């Protein structure tokens, strides 16, 4: 187990390093950053001053090592637009994004585990087909559009929920539902296939032979085994959700990290953009590693991989 | 994804699935036809504004004007014509993205699956890195830095959405590699490229076709989201996502403005997914999700 954990950690570190290089290169795509920071009306002299002030006149490798060295200490530099430390900006807004992500994940699990179990128990019947069609509905739904439709219906016409902002827990319900939609199809399918596999296995037959109740077989034996892949995919989905929350935060004006990224992109505020890309990628890397380790802990067969 | 199995025997296809295949095929075929024929079937020019005729309502509402079946937008442009041209953009983005990402992903996946060892390690590492990158955020950042254009959106999505192609191509190649006919090809003295192109590729093609539908649906949704956020296809092009963004200002008073392009988007993506699901069963392509 220790060897597996160590190997997994090394891979995670290598991936993190690659992503660092990529997110650094990303902001250098436009060619000359100093020109885009200075704006259209700047003179050649202004551009020169900015280039020197932000250290953009140094070789790329030096800039990268400087950035990576500071980032490792939690210093992502200063935002041009907000005139504040990037690390503070992200720390300030991360709770909103995390709340949204966890709300979305909770709603997704509450919906998809029962749906998947139902489909598995009634495999190849109309119930099963219906569940799969529902999953496909979720997959085809444009999230930003669903958000707007919910704002019109639940928000304006019925007046049940606030339309935008972050004042209370009610503000997270609609964005949470929308975010959940993106994870429900995958989680439902996975619960279904996991349960079908579990229900067909020897130990379930044994449990049946022992005369255990149907509920106890489903809940205690089958679900526990089907849960292993679901847990790991749930962690991965949370990572995707945090990355994808940029769209939903913008729709609902939730001032989280995604909204920050969107603002910074439109303002050419590159230190913020590259820091957000890096932070979200690191969270994803950490989540997937945690999921892999948890899986290996629960199922020793996976450790050889 | 680990459950992908090469199934030589055709499974019995339930009628429900076949219905899905037919419905999906009809939807995708219809949208494709509309996209191709757009210049000949649009009642109006999708770009011509008429500020005297703004937000004219669609046919099912009271006060609808003849000649504008789906009404007009906030600048008085005919909504049906814009919707039809929007189909063009969605289809173009979907197909070209899939071609780009399919080429990248399939190449990587087949090489990794076929050669194994160090090559496979490198491919797996590339897939892991790609998955760690937040797609929407990076696509937005690239378009934000370089300026929005149709070509750039296609390129960015194509360079980002190859992961599932690589995963599926890799696992299916591994299964096919050791089968008898590949050994026979070795014995017959075929070169490695010939084996990859003539023996491996045709035998994993059905799996890749299923992935292609999934990725096409995803690309279309992503383009709409990018355009909605103002960093995708530039105006005045009638992308469905952009139409929703433009309609946002009027949505509380005229909800149909965002309703129409959203439904179009949903139906197309749903159709592509149905088609993919049906294909998977028909070709016995196993579980590629």
- Pick the most confident of A291-305, B91-105, B235-249: B91-105
CA dihedral B120, B123, B128, B131 (to 10 degrees): -140
Which residues of A fall within a CB distance of 8 Å from B231? 265-266
Partnered with residue A78 across adjacent β-strands are: A85
* Residues near A38 by beta carbon (within 8 Å), at least 6 away in sequence: A46, A47, A50
Please count the residues of chain B: 289
Total-model pTM: 0.88
Confidence of residue A218 (pLDDT cuts 50, 70, 90): confident
- pLDDT interval class at B286 (50, 70, 90): low
Q: Which of A204-208, B267-271, B281-285 has the highest mean pLDDT?
A: B267-271
DSSP A166: S
Using a CB-CB distance cutoff of 8 angstroms, which residues of chain A are in contact with residue B145?
26-27, 29-30, 36, 265, 268
Residue A126 CA to residue A145 CA, distance in Å, equals 29
- Judged against a pLDDT cut of 50, whether residue B66 lies above it is answered with yes
Q: Using CB atoms, which residue from B133, B270, B287 is nearest to A281?
A: B133
Cα separation of B171 and B112, whole Å? 9
Q: DSSP of chain B, one letter per residue?
A: -TT-----SPPPPPHHHHHHHHHHHHHHHHHHHHHHHHHHH-SS-TT---GGGTTPPPTTSTTPPTT-TT-B-TT--BHHHHHHHHHHHHHHHHHHHHHHHHHHHHHHHHHHHHH-HHHHHHHHHHHHHHHHS-HHHHHHHHHHHH---HHHHHHHHHHHTTHHHHHHHHHHHHHHHTSHHHHHHHHTT--HHHIIIIIIHHHHHHHHHHHHHHHHHHHHHHHHHHHHTTSSSPTTS--HHHHHHHHGGGTTT-THHHHHHHHHHHHHHHHHHHHHHHHHHHHT-----
| Residue B28: predicted pLDDT | 94
Radius of gyration of chain B (CA): 22
Do residues B78 and B68 lie in contact, with contact meaning Cβ atoms separated by under 8 Å? yes
Give residue B85's pLDDT band: very low, low, confident or very high (50, 70, 90): very high
Helix crossing, B256-283 with A126-140: angle to 10°?
130
Q: Does residue A242 contact residue A281 with C-beta atoms inside 8 Å? A: no
The share of chain A scoring above pLDDT 70, in percent, equals: 96
Query: How far is the C-alpha of B249 from the C-alpha of B244, rounded, in Å?
Result: 9
* Angle in degrees, 0-180, between the axes of helices B163-177 and B117-132, rounded to the nearest 10: 160
Prediction ipTM score: 0.86
Which residues, including other chains, have CB under 8 Å from residue A140's CB and lie 6 or more apart? B217, B221, B266, B269, B270, B273
Residues B145 and A31 sit within 8 Å (Cβ to Cβ): no
Write out pLDDT tens, residues B169-198: 999 998 888 887 788 887 888 888 888 888
Average pLDDT value for residue range B213-236: 91
Beta partners for residue A85, in sequence order: A78
A33 has a pLDDT exceeding 60? yes
**Rounded to whole angstroms, how far apart are CA atoms A33 and A31?**
6
Burial of A157 (0-12, 13-18, 19+ CB in 10 A): exposed
Q: Is the pLDDT of residue A72 over 90?
A: no
In this prediction, residue B261 has a pLDDT band, given cuts at 50, 70 and 90, of very high
**How sure is the predictor about B271, in pLDDT bands with cuts at 50, 70 and 90?**
very high
Residue B32 burial (CB count, 10 A): 16
Which residues in B lie closer than 8 A to residue A250 (C-beta atoms)?
229
- Determine the average pLDDT of the residues in A60-83: 81
**In which region does residue B71 sit, left (phi positive, over 0), alpha (psi from -120 to 50) or beta (all else)?**
left
Q: How far apart are the C-alpha atoms of A181 and B34, rounded to whole Å?
A: 29
Size of interface A-B (CB pairs under 8 A): 140
Asked whether B266 and A142 are in contact (CB, 8 A), the reply is: yes
Report all structural domains of chain A as residue ranges with CATH numbers, in order of start: 2-72 (no CATH), 95-304 (1.10.3720.10)
Question: Minimum mean pLDDT among A111-115, B13-17, B107-111, B119-123: which range?
Answer: B13-17
Q: How many CB atoms lie within 10 A of CB B246?
A: 23
Contact B97, B216 (CB under 8 A): yes
Q: CA nearest A253: which of A170, A153, A143, A175?
A: A175
Residue B208 neighbours by CB distance under 10 Å = 23
Which residue in A26, A143, A284 is closest to B132 by CB distance?
A284
Selected residue of A116, A142, A238, A281 to mutate for chain B interface (largest B Cβ count, 10 A): A142
Note the pLDDT of residue A294: 80
Predicted confidence at residue A59, as pLDDT, reads: 80
User: pLDDT value at position B2?
Assistant: 42
Q: How high is the pLDDT of residue B8?
A: 43
Q: Is 60 exceeded by the pLDDT of residue A305?
A: no
Mean pLDDT, rounded, of chain B: 85
- The answer to whether the Cβ–Cβ distance between B289 and A276 falls below 8 Å is no
The yes-or-no verdict on residue A234 having pLDDT over 70 is yes
Whether residue B16 is predicted with pLDDT greater than 80 in this model: the reply is no
- Is the pLDDT at A220 greater than 80, yes or no? no
When the pLDDT of each residue in chain A is averaged and rounded to a whole number, the result is 82
Task: Return the higher-pLDDT residue of B11 and B51.
Answer: B51
Q: Do A244 and B136 touch (CB under 8 A)?
A: yes
Determine the residue of chain B that is closest to A149 in CA distance: B259
């Amino acid at each position: 187990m220790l060897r597996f954990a160590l190997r997994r950690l090394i891979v995670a570190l290598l991936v993190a390093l690659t992503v660092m290089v990529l997110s650094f290169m990303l902001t250098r795509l436009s060619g000359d950053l100093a020109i885009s920071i200075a704006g259209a009306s700047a003179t050649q002299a202004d551009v020169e001053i900015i280039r020197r002030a932000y250290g953009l006149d140094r070789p790329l490798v030096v800039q990268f090592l400087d950035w990576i060295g500071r980032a490792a200490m939690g210093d992502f530099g200063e935002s041009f637009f907000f005139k504040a430390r990037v690390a503070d900006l992200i720390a300030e807004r991360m709770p909103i994004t995390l709340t949204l992500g966890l709300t979305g994940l909770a709603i997704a699990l509450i919906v998809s585990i029962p749906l998947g179990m139902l489909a598995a128990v009634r495999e190849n019947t109309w119930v099963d087909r219906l569940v799969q069609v529902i999953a496909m509905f979720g997959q085809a739904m444009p999230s930003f559009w669903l958000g707007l439709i919910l704002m019109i219906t639940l928000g304006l016409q019925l007046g049940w929920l606030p339309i935008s902002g972050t004042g209370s827990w009610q503000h997270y319900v609609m964005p949470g539902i929308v975010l959940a939609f993106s994870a429900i199809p995958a989680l439902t399918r996975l619960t279904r296939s996991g349960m079908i596999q579990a229900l067909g296995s020897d130990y379930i037959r044994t449990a049946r032979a022992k005369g255990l109740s149907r509920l106890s077989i489903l809940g205690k034996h089958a679900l526990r085994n089907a849960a292993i892949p679901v847990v790991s995919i749930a962690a991965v989905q949370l990572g995707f959700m945090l990355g994808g929350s940029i769209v939903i935060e913008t729709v609902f004006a939730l001032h989280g990290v995604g909204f920050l990224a969107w603002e910074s992109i439109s303002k050419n505020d590159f230190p913020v953009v590259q820091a957000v890309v890096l932070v979200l990628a690191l969270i994803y890397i950490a989540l997937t590693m945690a999921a892999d380790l948890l899986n290996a802990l629960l199922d020793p067969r996976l450790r050889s991989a | 994804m680990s459950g992908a199995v090469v199934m030589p025997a055709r499974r019995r296809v339930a009628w429900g699935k076949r219905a899905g295949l037919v419905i999906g095929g009809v939807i995708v075929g219809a949208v494709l036809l509309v996209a191709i024929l757009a210049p000949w079937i649009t009642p109006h020019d999708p770009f011509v504004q008429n500020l005297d005729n703004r937000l004219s309502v669609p046919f099912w509402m009271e006060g609808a004007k003849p000649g504008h079946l789906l009404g007009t937008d906030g600048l008085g442009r005919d909504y049906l014509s814009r919707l039809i041209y929007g189909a063009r953009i969605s289809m173009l983005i979907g197909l070209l993205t899939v071609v780009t990402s399919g080429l990248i992903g399939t190449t990587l996946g087949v090489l990794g699956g076929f050669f194994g060892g160090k090559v496979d390690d490198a491919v797996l590492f590339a897939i892991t890195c790609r998955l760690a990158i937040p797609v929407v955020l990076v696509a937005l950042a690239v378009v934000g830095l370089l300026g929005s254009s149709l070509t750039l959106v296609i390129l960015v999505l194509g360079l980002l959405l190859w992961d599932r192609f690589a995963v599926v191509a890799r696992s299916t190649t591994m299964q096919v590699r050791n089968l008898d006919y590949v050994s026979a090809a070795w014995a017959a003295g075929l070169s490695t490229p010939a084996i990859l192109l003539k023996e491996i590729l045709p035998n994993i093609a059905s799996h890749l076709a299923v992935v292609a539908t999934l990725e096409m649906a995803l690309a279309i949704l992503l383009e709409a989201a990018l355009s909605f956020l103002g960093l995708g296809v530039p105006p005045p092009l009638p992308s469905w996502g952009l139409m929703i963004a433009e309609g946002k200002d009027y949505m509380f008073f005229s909800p149909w403005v965002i309703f129409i392009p959203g439904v179009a988007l949903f139906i197309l993506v749903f159709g592509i997914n149905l088609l993919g699901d049906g294909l998977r069963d028909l070709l016995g392509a196993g579980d590629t999700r």
